[in-house]
């Protein structure tokens, strides 16, 4: 692992901290749980646990796309886009 990759890994915020870092992101999380995961917080947390160890956005996006496909979620829907946007910030915080 390169020094830069190790530095990124050490500075990456957890998904839980990410959603709690801004009120609007917590709202997007809550809407995602309600609309995309049928109100099942456990399913949502299991989904996040699959993303948590991933160090690359491409890997995270693969998990997101897999989950959306499994649940028959349109990736361009409001809640899906909101969830994806927040998770993107974990990998690219300056955007």
DSSP state at residue 1: -
Between CA 32 and CA 92 the distance in angstroms is: 21
Give tens-digit pLDDT for 1-54.
443 344 445 579 999 999 999 999 999 999 999 999 999 999 999 999 999 999
pLDDT in tens, 68-79: 999 999 999 999
What is the reported pTM? 0.86
């Amino acid at each position: 692992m390169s020094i830069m990759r190790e530095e990124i890994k050490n500075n990456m915020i957890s998904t839980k901290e990410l959603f709690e870092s801004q009120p609007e992101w917590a709202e997007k999380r809550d809407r995602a749980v309600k609309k995309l995961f049928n109100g099942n917080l456990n399913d949502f947390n299991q989904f996040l646990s699959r993303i948590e160890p991933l160090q690359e956005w491409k890997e995270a996006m693969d998990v997101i796309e897999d989950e959306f496909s499994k649940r028959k979620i349109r990736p361009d829907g409001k809640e899906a886009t909101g969830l994806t946007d927040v998770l993107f910030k974990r990998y690219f915080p300056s955007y």
